[in-house]
Amino acid sequence: MGTPETTVVLNNNSRAAKPVYPPCALVIFGGAGALTHRKLLPALYNLALDGDLPDRAAIVSFSMEEMNDEAYRAFALDAIRKNSRRPVQEEGWNRFARMLSFVRGRFDQPADYHTLREHLDRIDRDFATAGNRVYYFAVPPNFIETCAIGLHGADMIRPINGGASFTRVVVEKPIGRDLASATSINDRIAAHFHESQIFRIDHYLGKETVENLMVLRFANSIFEPLWTSRFIDHVQITVAEDEGVGTRAPYYESAGALRDMVQSHILQVLSIIGMEPPRSTAADSVRDAKLDVLQSIRPFSVEDLDKYVVRGQYGAGLVGGAPARAYRDEDNVSPDSRVETFVALRCWIDNWRWAGVPFYLRTGKRLPKRASEIAIYFKSVPRILYNANPRAHLAANMLTIRIQPDEGLSVHIISKVPGPQTRLQQVAVDFHYKTTTPEAYETLLRDIILGDQTLFMRRDSVEAAWQLVDPILETWQESPTDPPIYSAGSWGPLEAALMMAADGRSWRVL
């Protein structure tokens, strides 16, 4: 019998007054690429519809494709039709289209940056953007330094104390592939930009439910007093995908699940769940508190890696009733690839609040469904009264926070089944959003324009996360064994279930 649910709808139509957005020109390096087409242009269009772009704004694509302004607007219109959460509206599109322009240029050609500068000078005059610049590096990591050097050579980076106008730069994850490369990338960015100008973007942090985690914890007195080892038994974080690698195989072959998901998305979510109350909601106060969590995670010993870190690779199987081929049979994947498509691990946060509470993390491709969820398991009630029967243990109370696809949360409590007999069942009181929430990139782009770094990764947090996962990667690199194979459509390799069973627990079935 399924768990009964009581549903409470959260209507998110009420909003605080809109902030005052400064005028600016947003320059997208790689503005005709896949990321821009799938995410950035649709997000910017929706911001424009909502009135969340400055009245004096311009969007400039800097890329090497053969385009002019008219062709780029056609490219943008196609992106919005295919990928926007809202359809094209003629009036809204016409306003948005006027903001768009295209500059053809190569990232490694200094002269092309001077052409870009001349174009931006005209933008300043025509759109009154006041010299404010946001440079979005939608480019592979190996071009980050090249673009920074080009901007510096054309004198297009204003110092933080250089007057009223601002310069900001946006860098996409992954920041490196290990600690050494991440440190190198950060050093090279820091040679041209101050840390306060750098926005390291992880789109997961822009999801409405992730952003709501701090509010859930620190604005509700019923949760924060319970958010300790005295009341919480363990925490599970799951990021499950039903799709395979698809067209991302070349990237995935050099990354794998640990680099792609754990080092960034999952550890960032973990740091919000585990953080102490920050001094304020100011960006650095929040990021200081998150960093403290990452630095408090117990490093993995060799013995821990054998028992509490599991990897796997999907084989052939059925997902949603449809046949799915093995990872090694995917296009652009080596037939003897040892890349992991699944990771499960147990972490400890060694501080006063979380002493003795295990955090179980898992992520994988070709799992039964697409779902991202945080499950907070509270400790069971004493083994007396309603929990006295040794053959029928009461389920623990639980708080589940759904990040995607159905954003919301559920509180799982024990209740009596109506009737003359005393029969108990678990009931889920479910909260979800009534209206469509903004896409993550909409939230993050808005904050970039406002200069709010709260939802962005700071250099020290990036490097702290790499310090944790580097020993795991090095051990796997040196190991002669292949990752265990799990069937597509399953919840991962048997070893992941056995890891939980050894602790007397089991993974939650989503």
Cα(253)–Cα(163) distance, rounded to whole angstroms? 45
Map residue 220 onto helix, strand or coil: coil
Instruction: Report residue 167 as tokens.
Output: 């310069």
| 314 within 8 A of 487, measured Cβ to Cβ | yes
CB count within 10 Å of CB 266 equals 26
Q: Is 203 a catalytic residue?
A: no
Q: Which of 37, 234, 265, 412 is catalytic?
A: 265
User: Mind giving me the DSSP string for 396-434?
Assistant: PPEEEEEEESS-EEEEEEEEEPSSSS--EEEEEEEEEES
* 199 secondary structure, DSSP code: E
Cβ neighbors of 457 (< 8 A, separation 6 or more) are 173, 175, 200, 201, 202, 205, 264, 268
Strands (E), 193-263: 198-201, 232-240
Residue where the block lists tokens 């939980």: 500
Best CA proximity match to 169, nearest among 196, 187, 142 = 196
| 395 within 8 A of 414, measured Cβ to Cβ | yes
Q: Dmax over Cα atoms in the chain, in whole Å?
A: 84
Strands (E), 261-308: none
User: Mind giving me the DSSP string for 123-160?
Assistant: HHHHH--TT-EEEEE-S-GGGHHHHHHHHHHTT----T
Strand order in the sheet with 5-10: 5-10, 424-433, 408-416, 398-404, 371-378, 232-240, 358-364, 342-348, 309-315, 485-487
| 315 within 8 A of 326, measured Cβ to Cβ | yes
Cβ neighbors of 147 (< 8 A, separation 6 or more) are 29, 107, 135, 137, 139
Residue where the block lists tokens 């490369």: 181
Strand order in the sheet with 57-63: 100-104, 57-63, 24-29, 133-137, 167-172, 198-201
Q: Which are the catalytic amino acids?
A: 265
